[in-house]
Amino acid sequence: MAHTQRYAAVAVAGPLRRSFIYRIPPSMEHLEPGQRVLGPFGSARKIGFYLGPAVPRERIEIKELIKVIDESSLFSGELFKLCRWMADYYFANPADCFAAALPSLLKTSQKTVLMWGEAKPLLSPSWISPLVKPQKRVPRQTLRRIKQEGKGLLARLRRQGTIVEAWPDESRGTKGRPTGYRAQALDKWNKYFESKKFRPEPFDGIKGRVELKSSGWTDYRIRQTVRDGILEPVHSEGLSAVLDFVRPKENIRDFQLTSEQVAAFEKLRQSLDDGFSPSLMHGVTGSGKTIVYCHISREVLRRDKTVLVLTPEIALAGTTLAYFRGFFGDQVTVVHSAMTERERLESWRGIRQGKYKIVVGPRSAVFAPLPALGLIIVDEEHDGSYKQDDPAPRFHGRDCAIMRAKINNLPVLLGSASPSIESYHHACSGRYRLLRLTKRPGGATLPLVRLVDMRTERVRGDLPF
């Protein structure tokens, strides 16, 4: 039987907003949308993203793909659609959109490896159970048979934990960042600093770099004493150390909702069954919008769904994270650009495998690979920090969140004390559901605002300078 030649459309990073056509070798039996492939590009080789089958133009030389980087696509169907929409809407290179959705440690030619996990296969063909060997790599022939069995079988085994992903790049920076330093040789401390101008007092326990610098230490002195064995760096345990820096807000569950908050919550709860339905919560500063976010998120989690919470800046992500961690504990994680490469990879992997039910972060978190997404919240939706202008792709995080909600057919909640003109117009015209919080809890009042006419005040000299 003659083999039919197949062709692939592949997005490659670069200045051109277009895809390139490659021949698919017979050894590549099945390609999934978003899967990374390696192919020749001029005199070099480049990694690209498989977009789908292609029809070649006549009388042109078509090069052949070299290999597949991933055993399966790192993108769910809805995230693949979101990245394609971004490329079209913002006139961006599709490869830039796909790359923005991945942790930097995955932006290499290293292959992901599928390993057998600890979980037993459920509702799967009987021939799979005898092949499961935890911590061992899944053989190629077994993967080929699983893919031939049905399109959703591999995804189901991964959700169950029967098959898990491992990345060789995780070995980079396995110790993570030092979270502090411990005095290792107290008996040698005085003798070591005796001949030096800098003579710090010995200390017990662990001190952070900032705390050491406040008492006269410098980066050079810290490096020197670590090298000489006087100080010992204490490394983070990965992502847990990042979350430990944010103390959960105490007694957050004990806060009683006001009548306005209850009314807003009830309307949002009813919208959870309405599919795609944008809502704008217009609440004055201090009206308790975040508490409403927590309560509606709890309702989503009760339905075995997940929640994505966007904040305009990393600093605000910490504040919001404190509320959600106080409410939901270890079910919450954070994603932002200030994390180390390893921390971002660990967070991304935990989200994808269903370890975390709620993700908090700035605009880059819009790509969080949450399974069974049930609600998207965009806090301070008016903030200009949601716009990314450099590097590519250039996009608006709020608008991408709304589109992701539309793709998934789920509700999206925008919150602000001073909504953007476009969002407020949509709410007033009925396109968005408008929710109002006009009062602060506990009878607190807003500060008095006085308008000053500088034309007259300048004459009277009522100036602070």
CATH number at residue 248: 3.40.50.300
Q: What is the pLDDT of residue 305?
A: 95
Statement to judge: residues 375 and 407 lie in one domain: yes
Which residues, 6 or more positions from 336, have their beta carbon under 8 angstroms from its beta carbon? Answer: 314, 317, 361, 362, 364, 365
How far apart are the two ends of the chain, measured CA to CA in Å?
89
> Which pTM value belongs to this model?
0.73
Statement to judge: residues 204 and 320 lie in one domain: no
Statement to judge: residues 268 and 408 lie in one domain: yes
Report yes or no on 449 lying in a domain.
no
Helix or strand run (H / E) with residue 309: strand 306-310
57, 80, 108 - which closes a domain: 108
Instruction: Kindly state the tokens that stand for 105.
Output: 């440690």
From residue 90, how far is each of 135, 158, 389 by CA, in Å? Answer: 43, 33, 11
Q: What is the pLDDT of residue 306?
A: 96
pLDDT tops 60 at residue 238 = no
Statement to judge: residues 254 and 380 lie in one domain: yes
Band of residue 394 on the pLDDT scale cut at 50, 70, 90:
very high
Report yes or no on 4 lying in a domain.
yes
| 97-106, 132-141, 243-252, 325-334: the lowest-pLDDT one | 243-252
Report yes or no on 144 lying in a domain.
no
Number of domains in the chain: 3
Report yes or no on 157 lying in a domain.
no
Cis peptide before 391 (omega within 30 of 0): yes
Statement to judge: residues 260 and 396 lie in one domain: yes
Statement to judge: residues 295 and 202 lie in one domain: no
Statement to judge: residues 304 and 416 lie in one domain: yes
Reported residue count of the chain is 465
Statement to judge: residues 31 and 63 lie in one domain: yes
SS3 of residue 183 by DSSP: strand
Among residues of the chain, what percentage have pLDDT more than 90? 40
| 24-38, 367-381, 397-411, 444-458: the lowest-pLDDT one | 444-458
Statement to judge: residues 276 and 302 lie in one domain: yes
What mean pLDDT is reported for the chain?
85
Statement to judge: residues 258 and 230 lie in one domain: no
Statement to judge: residues 211 and 294 lie in one domain: no
Report yes or no on 122 lying in a domain.
no
Helical segments of 129-196, H only:
140-149, 153-160, 186-193
Q: What is the pLDDT of residue 240?
A: 55
Statement to judge: residues 327 and 429 lie in one domain: yes
108, 141, 167 - which closes a domain: 108
Q: Which domain holds residue 215?
A: 178-235
Report yes or no on 464 lying in a domain.
no
Report yes or no on 16 lying in a domain.
yes
